[in-house]
Amino acid sequence: MGMSAGVVVLLGVFALCHAEANELNYDEALLTVNNYLLHPITLLYMSDYCYKCLLQPLMSLPAAQSLQPANHTVTITTQFALTFHVFKEDGNEEPVCSWEQLYEEHGHYIISVQPSNGTVQCYNLVRRSPSNSLMPLLVALVCLLCIWALYYLTTYIFRLACTHKFLEELKKKTCCDFHNEPDESVVQSQSADTPKHRRLLSLDTFRGFSLTIMVFVNYGGGGYWFFQHAPWNGLTVADLVMPWFVFIIGTSVALAFSSMLKKGIYRSQLVRKLTWRTCVLMAIGVFFLNFGPADGPLSWHWARIPGVLQRLGFTYFVLAFMHTFFSKPNLEEAESHQRSAAVRDIVMYWPEWIIIAALETLSLCLTFLLPVPGCPTGYLGPGGIGDFGLYPNCTGGAAGYIDKWLFGQNHIYNHPTCKELYKTTQPFDPEGILGTINSVVMAFFGLQAGKIILIYRKSPHKILCRFFIWSILLGITSAILTKCTRDEGFIPINKNLWSLSFITTLSCFSFLLLGLMFYVIDVRRWWGGQPFIYPGMNSIFVYVGHSLLASYFPFNWEVKNWTSHYEFLAQDLLGTSIWVFVSYLLYRKKFFLKI
């Protein structure tokens, strides 16, 4: 809530920090190449984030004339390090010189290709110093920390006895009959002490934290590449949030079903409830969030069928339907048995483990054994210019093939994250069928976290220990699958494919983060979860609302300054803060949208 209150301050600071306008946009630099050779040259390049990619042409320069070099200037990206090769246009396949460098934003760099003692040397000079692209983030971070500190300082002051005494005296003097609402943190603390509520605040905070980051990255993330999805393999901030949501779904299912069964709700009623919720989620995803005003009237000739809510709905249905038949209404008895106590949370639910193992086996078999026409079996690459251009139409391998066969090319996502970097031409849907199987597995790890909380709820240190053990086991699994590399492992971390290493890595992070929040919020009660707990308790409202209104003011406006991240970051922080503030108002009004 304090974050949203200070957005106006952020806008003012950004205006003061506005960089001098030039011809470059953010994440761009100028590169000038001078050719002093008596031969024409060609300059090729490749991004280091592009795995096994074909070299791409950047420029060609004629030979130097009368000691006057031929030169040309181009705009290059500063997001990733680039590798350059200079070739003579005489049929020689070996480059005369090469270099790799991460160029910085708004810099102007000069490369002089010169003969030197029978060889060729490439000299690198800086004509104009670059600007610091991270400065807007630093300014925003300092402002938000100051606002947050001011908010908690104000809250602390109003909780002091002398402040209450002063307000009471002021009330008597003015004879005003105003209503002094109790401090929000005190109310939460009191409600936490009340046995009948027992709501796991850390889970709501975790959900709200994930949702807040999701809104920010969906609105653009200030234009920073690490707030966008990874082009193919690897992880960025944007790749974290949806798996966290899936994990939270599993934890929520465990807690909610245990509570409902204790109240005497029949399992048949649970099936009807989860079926209804699934249908509503998938309907919202298909008919509302896939389309916007700019898309025009809905047409089934190009309508995208998969989507985020569709995947969440299907994942919830499979997991909840399975857990309906194997959930335990009363876990106190399980806690009393000492036999196999170390693995009681696994042994008690052995049928679920068999089902999940079967689903993961099916996913791996389809991924690595399904024949895909024109592609190698088990291909996990992005196609395009990746793998040296050998498989340009094999984007996603079996995952892409299944989606195109089942839905058709016109009904899946046509702008995958690999399209720009890897020059792909094939559609690929990151919320496709094969990845949804692993989404269920990810949710099952969240379900396991919920079971641990239920079984060991009388011993918080046991919950924390088991969370830590699970995170270690999953982290080791990820290290083996990836060989601790981005691209060279058996199964690389890939959000587009929802690979096995992706779900083990994100499940590891989820156990650690939920465990930390559980300790700080529910055990020690050092923090009430503000402001993230507010969107966490109205997640459907915030998610649907931010998606539908993303293109409208004040969430979006025409940006005047494209030369830096300042205005983009201010715009995206403002949009995110508005939704946090709206969720706070709904919390105060006790309005919670549920399906």
> Rounded distance, CA 523 to CA 512, Å?
15
Cα–Cα distance, 41 to 505 (Å, whole number)? 45
Q: Position of tokens 């920010």?
A: 216
The Cα 33–Cα 96 span in angstroms is 14
Please state, in angstroms and rounded to a whole number, the distance separating the CA atoms of residues 403 and 377: 16
d(CA 128, CA 133): 15
- The pair of structure tokens assigned to 293 is 């005003």
By the 8 A CB rule, do 384 and 395 touch?
yes
SS3 591: coil
Candidates 106, 229, 411, 546; catalytic one:
229
- Catalytic (active site) residue 229: yes
Residue ranges of alpha helices (H) inside 219-307 are 241-262, 267-284
Give 311-373 as a DSSP string: HHHHHHHHHHHHHHHH--S--HHHHH--TTGGGHHHHTTHHHHHHHHHHHHHHHHHHHHS--T
Q: Answer whether 123's CB lies under 8 Å from 114's CB.
A: yes
Task: Give the Cα separation of 176 and 170 in Å (integer).
Answer: 9
Phi, psi values for residue 87, rounded to 5°: -120, 140
Question: Rounded to 5, what percent of the chain is helix, strand, coil?
Answer: 55, 10, 35
Just list the catalytic residues.
229
